[in-house]
Structure 1
Amino acid sequence: MSSIILCVTEGEKTEVKVLERLQAEFLDKPIEIICFGTNIYQLYRKVKDEDIEFLITYEILQEISQERKGKRDDVLSQYSQIEIAEIYLFFDYDGHDNLSDKYPECIENMLDIFNNETENGKLYISYPMVEAFKHPVNKEEIYDISQGSKYKNYVSKICPEQLNKFINQPLNKRDWSNYFIEHMKAINFLVRNDFSYPSDYLYINKSFTQVGIYENQITKYIKPKNHILVLTPFALFLIEYLGETLFEEWAQLALTT
């Protein structure tokens, strides 16, 4: 019976630890994690020539899992394909990478290929990288793409201390919620020019899509300014996974913060 949530991450540490913490505080299903170990442009090279109608994500992930064996266990050897209920992929925007110029169509195409967690899988993008979840959000938090991986050190200096220490000193559900609410406001600002918690849950499914977020990043920040609006995908992932119950819970919490 399908029951496993399979998460594919770019890195081996931060993304894994975040997902493990979110599983403990929010989710009621087991999560298994495969680390791809490099960026989205390298993954794109693996799938760009595939016939999408016949793409079998499970087989690609098996190959990845076997390649990474030794750094993490060969996760998929424990399961058959039918046991995998949903697949989620978490990658950085990485607009500073040399391959971003070679494959300018990468993000758009990957979001088109990986747009459904029960089919090929669903892709979530961190802007500019996974450490965005630490970034204090007050409204229009932007970052210069050309600064690249310097973002890690930058955000570690400006974020709340408990986010730097979240691995050894875990945050509780309310802590995560308070931080993620601000990122939901930022998405609302990006899409609707309104820095507030979204008022309508139905609007989430309609307009807060990964494609919509990327298109707004392109038109408002990336093309005209070579910047991005800092956003973590983990907030929207939880809302989309847990639905209106969590949306309303955060709406009430947003009124008190």
Structure 2
Amino acid sequence: MKRITKLWPGGKPKAFTLSYDDGVEQDRRLVEIFNKYKLKATFNLNSGIQHEGSFWVDKGIMIRRMNPEGLEALYEGHEIAVHSLTHPVLPDLPRELARAEILEDKRNLEQKFGYLVTGMAYPYGAYNAATIGLLKACGLEYARTVNQHLKFNLPENPYEWHPTCHHNDPELMNLTEAFLADGSPSLSLFYVWGHSYEFDVQNNWERIEEFSQRISSRDEVWYATNIEIIHYLEACGKLRFSVDCNLVYNPSALAVWIMVDDTVVEVPPGSTLQMQ
């Protein structure tokens, strides 16, 4: 019997992704760091309050959302996702208002950025079963929570996608070393989230610079946005194997990589391969 293991694109065993909320001015510096190290992130925006008049103060630090002009260029190469129209606690709203918060933010972001927006981060991390039902009805494919698990697990439920850790978690660098040292052949995923303004509030921009440098440029790691992770896992799940596993069919539009015994095999989209 063959040993078959699913791999990330390019035959890589590990994947890394990031998620940052609120569309604040500090994103400019954060994007510059991510681009420097060729990292990919998902940025979750509130289109109904995406202007410089939306601001607050934390420990004497001014936190201001950016005006929408020029955001297409700023976030180029990264993913834009829903964070609701005005950042309310969604489970506290009537169903109709919660639906509008989700759907109108999606509509605005799609019109602004010119592509399908199908991901989300829950405002305040708050959600329930009804919220998840609304996301599905609005055409969203995943939603990130704030419930970290300090592991490198794949999402069991894309609508309750728990990250590995927040960037300020004291275990961040230990987790980084453990992730890079892990020699397991099974798929692993390191997911870090936060808010860019926290680096000003905590006065620790050097933390994300050091972390980005350490996690970047690894041949065994696929660097992806949240939606790229979701779409690839969907494609993996659609692979069909013959009873003896000598044939594999990929009905999806994405190439999928697998390990057959000790050989890395690419299964092109729409193809059937015979495996010796």
TM-score per shorter chain, which class?
A: 0.3 to 0.5
Structure 1 length-normalised TM:
0.37
Higher helix fraction (1 or 2) = 1
Give 1 or 2: higher strand fraction: 2
Rg (Cα) greater in structure: 2
| Structure of greater relative contact order (alpha carbons < 8 Å, 6+ residues apart) | 2
